[in-house]
Chains A and B, each alone.
Chain A
Amino acid sequence: MTSTRSAADLTVGDVLSGPARLMSRERMRWYCDALETTALGTGEFVIAEPTIHSDDDFAIANGLPGIIADGMISTNWISGMLLEQFGVGYVGGGELQTKFIRPIYEDEVIETRGEVRVVEGGERPVYVIDVWCETADGQKCTVGQARIPVPAG
């Protein structure tokens, strides 16, 4: 689910939203394995070594209370929301910045959001969109900004 307006018709204050998702232990591990598998890139599947994202003892030894999600999971959920709203204009001419300000712990429900802050004019108008992921009780975990060209109407 994104804004009900088309990508060319958004205005300041319009809100984007993605689905609520449970940050399960499995989702955290899937990313660890996908990271190692895609970095290797041979077509062979890799089971990742223990990390702070997959092994409680490893996470605790590194000063954390338990495993936390890799920030790229929530970044990808934001990226997916932007792709759904803006299509290839986002992939081929956009920009996404995210910062991980609070860990996401196992079994937290995470929602993805965006809000159009500015529509920059000029020869090539651009949407400036605040983006974030938050817990069910509204604590922001991943925050940032996207800049996406306004599609021709």
Chain B
Amino acid sequence: MPVGRYVSDLEEGDVLNPVTYEMTPFIAREYCHGVDEVAEVFHAPGTEISGAHLAPPTLIHIDKIRLLKANCPDGAGPDARIHYEYHAIHHAPVPVGERLVASGSVSRRYEKRGRAYVELEIQLRVESTNQLLTSYRDTSVLSFAAKETA
């Protein structure tokens, strides 16, 4: 059951339905391709700095996208959403090949200078052990153009 039709429908306190997926080599490598990340640890197992194939920690941002697509299936809303702040805490490396669970909630919704902001708190865990890998706070502006207020 979606939480909102649009992301702009989200309200403070809303709990998002979690999303479970496998962190495949394809996901890690394709994300790296999109951001010029050539570090071998994200492309292959058994590198000098890690014996394992790891996912870039910034992929937590894609967990936000997954959660929003699953919980607000009709997209951003009347205006484009603009990312404003990223804040990730890496508790442990994210291993490629694991099944992961992304969960999240709306921690704040507020207005500043005529613009609506939404803050999400997201956690990424290993499905089989519940180990917390990443905590993430994401702040977005729901529309760049400030609205007239009555």
Contacts and interface: CB of A to CB of B under 8 A. Distances in A.
A43 B23 CA distance: 11
| Most chain B beta-carbon contacts within 10 A, residue among A31, A76, A96, A98 | A76
A77 B145 CA distance: 28
Interface residues on B, range: 35 or more
Interface in B40-99: 41, 49-50, 54, 56-59, 61-62, 65-66, 69, 79-80, 82-94
Contacts, number: 132
Main SS at interface, chain A = helix
A41 B24 contact: yes
Given A75-B58, A88-B50, A31 B82 contact: no
Given A39-B65, A62-B145, A79-B58, A97 B27 contact: no
Interface residues on A, range: 35 or more
A106 interface: no
Contact of A92 (B79, B84, B92): B92
B24 A43 contact: yes
Contacts of B84: 71, 99-100
Given A63-B145, A92-B92, A30 B69 contact: no
A70 B82 CA distance: 8
A61 B67 CA distance: 26
